[in-house]
Each structure stands twice: as C-alpha cells, then as structure tokens.
Amino acid sequence: MASSDPVFHTNPMSRGRIVRWMLEELGIEYTTVVQDYGTGMKSPEYLAINPMGKVPALEHRGVVITEAAAICAYLADAFPQAGLAPAADDPLRGPYLRWMFFAAGPVEAAVTANSLGLLPPAEKAGFVGYGSFEQTMDALEQAAASASPWLLGDHFSAADVYVGSQVDFGLAFKSIPERPAFTAWAERLRAREAYQRARAKDDALMPAKD
Ligand SMILES: N[C@@H](CCC(=O)N[C@@H](CS)C(=O)NCC(=O)O)C(=O)O
C-alpha cells in the first residue's frame, strides 16, 4: 500500500458502496476508513474532510472529492489504464457525462422526493429539474434499454457503475419501478466480478446481527 493510494471514507450502509464497486473495477490498492453514522461522520476531523458530514469521500493526491458520481468520474480519469471513461476527444464522452449527471441530478432528486412523498404538483413540472418522477423513470428506462450490453455499448464505463447503481439500489429498495430494462441491466451489472468483490467487502463490514 503506497501513501499515494486513495483513502476511501465510507460506511457499508451508504452510497459508499457505489464507490467501493468503482475502486474494485479499477483493481487498485486503496485504504478504507469506516465512518460511523452520527459520531465519526460528524467529528471535527471528518467535517474538515467533508463539511456535509456524509460519506462517501475520497482523499487522493492532496485533494478531497465528495459526491459519489464525482468520485467515480474522478477515479476513472485518474486511473485511465482501466479504460473506464471515454477520453475527452471521444464522442462517447458526451453520453458518458450526460447519463452521469442525469443520474446524480434528476434521478437522485426524483427518487428521493418520491420516497419521501414530497413530489411537487404536476403543474410545476416545467420548473422542476426532473420534471416528474414518471418522466425521469421513462428517460432512465430508455438509457437502461439502450445498454447493450453497457450504457456506452461494448465499452463498460464509470457510467455503468454510477447510473447502474441507481438502478440496482432502486430495484433492491423498491424506490424505482420494476421494469424489464432495469432488471436486465442490473442482472448484467451484478454478475461482474468487481461488483461481487465490492459487495463482499462491504457485507463483511456490516454490524453483526443479534
Ligand atoms: N450527494 C451525496 C450524498 C451522500 C449521502 O447522503 N450519504 C449518506 C449515506 S448514503 C450519509 O452519509 N448520511 C449521513 C448523514 O447525513 O448524517 C453523494 O452522492 O455522495
């Protein structure tokens, strides 16, 4: 383990699972620091890393990156040998960024609002970034249906990790509707070795059940 390896702040019951999967896809060395809810995450030491007091966060090469989507995109660029992001001059960089931002913005916001019963009235759809929950799910379904086998075609990328995680978590927590395109893509994602390695590592960190 070199001192230049990323330091990954997480909790096994969090969006940190997305970043763990990304780290495992890269196949790199990294240090895991588990932050406890309420205590570790709100400590002055951790708030100096992420003033939101939330996980995941990544420390690497003297900078801090927060936001699961940004961490996945950062890691894909920082470790280009893994080929998990189209290069800046590749047209596929367009859809790659499109779906990453769509999932981190409209999808996250729509799913959260729907789960909390806080969806805005239909007449405000033009004002709301995600329009409506249904509209966002329909667009996400189109993306999932186009994944053949991956979001960018043959090229598995960080967008499959991040956008795919929204679908995977959404199906598991029943926060998105079960549609064939979601299920088929999620099944392909769950079959990946790195996904399974990440899951096993996080499951091993879960508190023991009485
Ligand atoms: N926008 C952030 C959300 C991070 C987030 O909400 N993390 C939750 C766990 S999934 C958390 O740390 N909650 C602890 C708290 O807010 O006290 C991301 O995408 O990474």
Burial annotation 40-57 (CB, 10 A radius, 16+ → b, else e): bbeeeebeebbeeebbbb
* Residue 2 scores a pLDDT above 80: no
Closest protein CA for atom 11 of ligand 1: 54
The residue whose CA has the least distance to atom 13 of ligand 1 is 54
Q: Do 54 and 21 share a structural domain?
A: yes
Q: Where residue 142 sits, what CATH number does that domain have?
A: 1.20.1050
Task: State the pLDDT at residue 88.
Answer: 97
Is residue 3 scored above 80 in pLDDT?
no
Residues 58 and 124 in one domain: no
Residues 106 and 184 reside in one and the same domain: yes
Does residue 2 lie within any of the structural domains?
Answer: no
For ligand 1, is residue 15 a contact (CB within 6 Å)?
yes
**Could you tell me the sign of the dihedral formed by the alpha carbons of 12, 17, 19, 24, in that order?**
positive
| Pocket perturbation via mutation, ligand 1, pick of 8, 9, 10, 15 by most ligand atoms within 8 A of CB | 15
For 15-54, the pLDDT digits (tens) are: 999 999 999 999 999 999 999 998 999 999 999 999 999 9
Q: Are 203 and 13 in contact (CB under 8 A)?
A: no
Global pTM value: 0.97
Per-residue pLDDT tens digits for 142-178: 999 999 999 999 999 999 999 999 999 999 999 999 9
CATH code for the domain in which residue 22 is found = 3.40.30.10
